[in-house]
Structure 1
Amino acid sequence: MTRLLPATAVAEAAALLRAGALVGFPTETVYGLGGDARNGRAVAGIFAAKGRPQFNPLISHFPDADAAFAEVVADDRAHALAAAFWPGPLTLVLPRRPDCRVDLLAGAGLDTLAVRVPSHPLALALLRAAAVPVAAPSANRSGQVSPTTAAHVLDGLGGRIAAVIDGGPCAVGVESTVLDLTGHGAVLLRPGGVAVEAIEALLGPVGRPLPLAAAEATRTLRSPGMLLSHYAPALPVRLGATTVAPDEALLAFGPPLPGAAVVWNLSERGELAEAAARLFAGLRWLDAEGGARGCTGIAAMLVPEVGLGAAINDRLTRAAAPRG
């Protein structure tokens, strides 16, 4: 059962997060479904609880700008925006630092990370007490209306997460504005709680993204709440492998196929949550190690098309897509 915790139970909710459990919590925008962003199993659990069809990038939440910028490379624009709008409903997409602690799955395998400092006092108290980056999409089943009360969270996710901490109704009620600062110009990826006019008053003109259909076709956008571009390995990926060549690296699921030059097993026990948690790290490792050993490609074994398997297969299909 999902426990409904009072606002005074911050320490208990923080302990659950540190233990790898999922906790719904209020922000000024909507309720978030929080998990320890360093813990791949917890992040995979977020996708499973939501029934999220793809590994979209998640927003990582922090108690202050210093904590957020310890994980990403922040330029003068990011610092100016943080000073003006944090804590608040603004998410910044920035390059990951080489020593970033956030699990690759939380960023959908990309070299960027979406970071935010919420302004809700209970959210800030929870983030300080947890002392870990907290990945948190909206606390609802994928495709359903975003929750603005603890009751909404229980209606959609009751029995699927450990707890929700009740901070009353959310003040803003719409998701955060998402701004991409990874290029020379700032690009608005999602309108939200901070008006773009306020951002432009600080930065100057802000670009708009491609329409979603074009974004999917070119796979250039990388934001929570949008169609996205995923990390793709340099080695070509072959799906549905039932045999493996001596010059191939193997992405295994369950008992590995014999004969591969190098092997990364997503889950020897065939557990989808473990496989999801190990997917992006595995592709990167096989790409580097396989390339160093002269491999010509990566052979990916079959993963069942159920639960998180659908998201894993979606990611692998994108990784195996023809290169332009």
Structure 2
Amino acid sequence: MDRGTRLTTDVAEAAALLRAGELVAFPTETVYGLGADARNGRAVAAVFAAKGRPEFNPLICHVATAEAAFEEVVADARARELAARFWPGPLTLVLPRRLDCRVDLLAGAGLDTLAVRVPAHPLALELLRRVDRPVAGPSANRSGSVSPTTAAHVLEGLSGRIAAVLDGGPCAVGVESTVLDLSSPRGAVLLRPGGVPAEAIEAAIGKVGRRVPASAAEATRTLRSPGMLLSHYAPALPVRLDAVDVAGEEALLAFGPAPLPGAGALWNLSPAGDLAEAAARLFAGLRWLDAEGRRLGLARIAAMPVPAAGLGVAINDRLTRAAAPRG
């Protein structure tokens, strides 16, 4: 964004901006979050652009109540016990998406899981009640920089890139929320230590495993998101990258105003060549082409080139993962 960023204490104004698809930073008890309507794919894509985030890592969705969270995800007894003990508070739960989940796929990075939490900051809760829908909220800083704990910190990195900052004063906890993966009934896994100690979680639900990453690069990703295996994003159909032609036996993931002719099925990420639109439509497109291609008996998905700039870097990262050899 090339306009100024407003500093405001008006919760109604901040909520109206979020509902209109704008980005608004807001305080939580941990750090300031960069808020976007989690049901609006364009708004979610704008989060990655504003942060300069190199990958589509899953984003934490903030809601005002446990009931609102469990409208989007499948909660088992463990999740309900933890919610009763620690929400509102600095605990994020990763749970399976409900079939009728209305959160945009990009907010969950195309996974079948979703990270949810109820923050404890009173201003955040008032904002979420007014927005009345899940708000995606990674830390409100440029990717790779220190997480912000004041409104001034947010403006240092994001001024001119977002619509507004809701000023709620300094954050009380100052470290990110604990992230716990409950997506498997076989056991809970700690993905990121944070504001709720692992010992307190274990006192509530029993032993919690720790994810041990295979590399430093995976560790960086794992702290923020589950399921970052190389081929995790792969559809059932094989994916062919950088397609400059397409056969009738292929489904086409197109980009730009001139999609290749002759495909058996077509999904255009953005006829206008808009990378934000393409990012917002990427996961939905892969899922639709996979389902439609299999229904039609097609052999593979051919993906046209996407410019490797801005959000295009993240799009190409996900396409590369989708096309990775299956092990």
Name which of 300, 303, 318 aligns with 2:303: 300
> What residue number does 1:250 align with?
252
How far does residue 141 in structure 1 lie from its aligned partner after superposition?
0.3
**Counterpart check, 1:38 vs 2:8:** no
* Distance in 2 (alpha carbons) for counterparts of 1:292 and 1:309: 29
The residue matched to 2:64 in structure 1 has which SS? coil
* CA 17–181 in structure 1, closer or farther in 2 if over 3 Å, else same: same
Name which of 268, 279, 293 aligns with 2:271: 268
* Distance in 1 (alpha carbons) for counterparts of 2:204 and 2:125: 25
The answer to whether the Cα contact below 8 Å between 2:233 and 2:318 also exists between their aligned partners in 1 is no
> What residue number does 1:320 align with?
323
**Counterpart check, 1:288 vs 2:298:** no
- State the one-letter code of the partner of 2:38: A
The answer to whether the Cα contact below 8 Å between 2:30 and 2:171 also exists between their aligned partners in 1 is yes
The within-5 A match list for 1:60-99 is 60-99=61-100
How far does residue 99 in structure 1 lie from its aligned partner after superposition?
0.3
The within-5 A match list for 1:188-203 is 188-203=190-205
RMSD: 1.5
How far does residue 26 in structure 1 lie from its aligned partner after superposition?
0.2
> For structure 2, which runs of at least 5 residues remain unmatched after alignment?
none
How far does residue 210 in structure 1 lie from its aligned partner after superposition?
2.1
Q: Which runs of 4+ in 1 moved over 4 A?
A: 214-217
* Distance in 1 (alpha carbons) for counterparts of 2:163 and 2:132: 19
The within-5 A match list for 1:1-324 is 1-6=4-9, 9-183=10-184, 184-213=186-215, 216=218, 224-225=224-225, 228-229=228-229, 230-254=232-256, 255-324=258-327
The answer to whether the Cα contact below 8 Å between 1:23 and 1:34 also exists between their aligned partners in 2 is yes
Deviations 1:74-109 (A, max 9, x none): 000000000000000000000000000100000000
* Distance in 2 (alpha carbons) for counterparts of 1:148 and 1:124: 17
How far does residue 232 in structure 1 lie from its aligned partner after superposition?
1.5
How far does residue 234 in structure 1 lie from its aligned partner after superposition?
0.4
How far does residue 231 in structure 1 lie from its aligned partner after superposition?
2.6
* Distance in 1 (alpha carbons) for counterparts of 2:222 and 2:283: 15
* Distance in 1 (alpha carbons) for counterparts of 2:27 and 2:214: 29
How far does residue 204 in structure 1 lie from its aligned partner after superposition?
1.1
How far does residue 11 in structure 1 lie from its aligned partner after superposition?
0.6
How far does residue 227 in structure 1 lie from its aligned partner after superposition?
7.4
Normalised to the residue count of structure 1, the TM-score between the two structures is: 0.96
* Distance in 1 (alpha carbons) for counterparts of 2:225 and 2:159: 23
* Distance in 1 (alpha carbons) for counterparts of 2:240 and 2:300: 7
The residue matched to 1:193 in structure 2 has which SS? coil
How far does residue 211 in structure 1 lie from its aligned partner after superposition?
2.0
The residue matched to 2:61 in structure 1 has which SS? strand
The answer to whether the Cα contact below 8 Å between 1:61 and 1:117 also exists between their aligned partners in 2 is yes
The residue matched to 2:241 in structure 1 has which SS? strand
| Segment drifting more, 117-126 vs 231-240 | 231-240
The answer to whether the Cα contact below 8 Å between 2:213 and 2:222 also exists between their aligned partners in 1 is no
The answer to whether the Cα contact below 8 Å between 1:93 and 1:223 also exists between their aligned partners in 2 is no
* CA 226–66 in structure 1, closer or farther in 2 if over 3 Å, else same: closer
**Pairs aligned (count):** 319
The answer to whether the Cα contact below 8 Å between 1:56 and 1:223 also exists between their aligned partners in 2 is no
* Distance in 1 (alpha carbons) for counterparts of 2:64 and 2:50: 24
Using the aligned pairs only, state the percent identity. Answer: 76
